[in-house]
């Protein structure tokens, strides 16, 4: 989650400090949208895990779970 937040911040800084034409602006918009969707997915998965476990879990534990579940596929 923090990595996605950092990426979003980078894109926003890029937009803030650069004069973008229409095509560049659209690409920046797409980058933000893609990262927001990833962020929402992570937050939803964390929420489900919190409900299942009945407590808050750390982002590190979540990432370990996610990596391990992808390796099994």
DSSP-assigned letters across all residues of 26-56: HHHHHHHHHHHHHHHHHHHHHHHHHHHHTS-
Average pLDDT, the chain: 85
Band (pLDDT 50/70/90 cuts) for residue 39 is very high
Given a cut of 90, whether residue 58 has pLDDT beyond it is no
CA 62 to chain centre: 13
The DSSP 8-state label assigned to residue 21 in this structure reads: -
Token pair recorded at residue 52 = 């299942």
* The pLDDT of residue 38: 95
Given a cut of 60, whether residue 51 has pLDDT beyond it is yes
């Amino acid at each position: 989650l923090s990595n996605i937040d950092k990426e979003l911040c980078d894109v926003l800084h890029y937009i803030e400090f650069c004069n973008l034409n229409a095509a560049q602006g659209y690409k920046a918009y797409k980058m933000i949208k893609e990262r927001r969707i990833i962020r929402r997915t992570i937050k939803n998965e964390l929420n489900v895990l919190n409900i299942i476990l009945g407590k808050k879990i750390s982002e590190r534990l979540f990432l370990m779970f996610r990596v391990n579940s992808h390796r099994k596929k």
